[in-house]
Amino acid sequence: MSRRAATISPDIEVVTQLPIPPLQLKSAQVLVRLGLRLIVMTAFAAFSSIGFMRIFAALLWMSAILCALAGAIRREQPFAANLNHWDEMTIYCAMWTLLGAINHPL
């Protein structure tokens, strides 16, 4: 039995590593996500039997909570250069407050 020495030949191809996707989304992607979520929430609120304002306010509040959780889990910075879940949460809270002010009885 003969032992062979381990040699590296130039014929071996080097496997390249796939690029790692960025952890932060671009601001345009966050705005598209926000718009799509608002369209879906508006559609659900429009077909509810309780009333548009009440359901839409509840959906905005739930979305704000979920965005805060997602921002905390992903450890996003609240005042980052790009938009993120924290900014989306702020928009939902502002819309919820505006909806409450519009729907407030005088």
Question: Is there a domain that residue 40 lies in?
Answer: yes
pLDDT given for residue 106 in this prediction: 55
Question: Is there a domain that residue 47 lies in?
Answer: yes
Question: Is there a domain that residue 85 lies in?
Answer: yes
Q: Is the pLDDT of residue 2 over 60?
A: no
25-53 pLDDT, tens digit each: 688 899 999 999 999 999 999 998 888 89
Question: Is there a domain that residue 14 lies in?
Answer: no
The number of folded domains in the chain is 1
pLDDT given for residue 102 in this prediction: 86
Question: Is there a domain that residue 63 lies in?
Answer: yes
Question: Is there a domain that residue 15 lies in?
Answer: no
The full DSSP string for 26-92 is PHHHHHHHHHHHHHHHHHHHHT-SS-HHHHHHHHHHHHHHHHHHHHHHTT--TT-SS--HHHHHHHH
Q: Higher-confidence residue: 20 or 88? A: 88
65: domain range? 27-102
Neighbouring C-beta atoms of residue 85, cutoff 10 Å: 21
Percent of the chain with pLDDT over 70: 77
Mean pLDDT calculated for residue range 54-64: 94
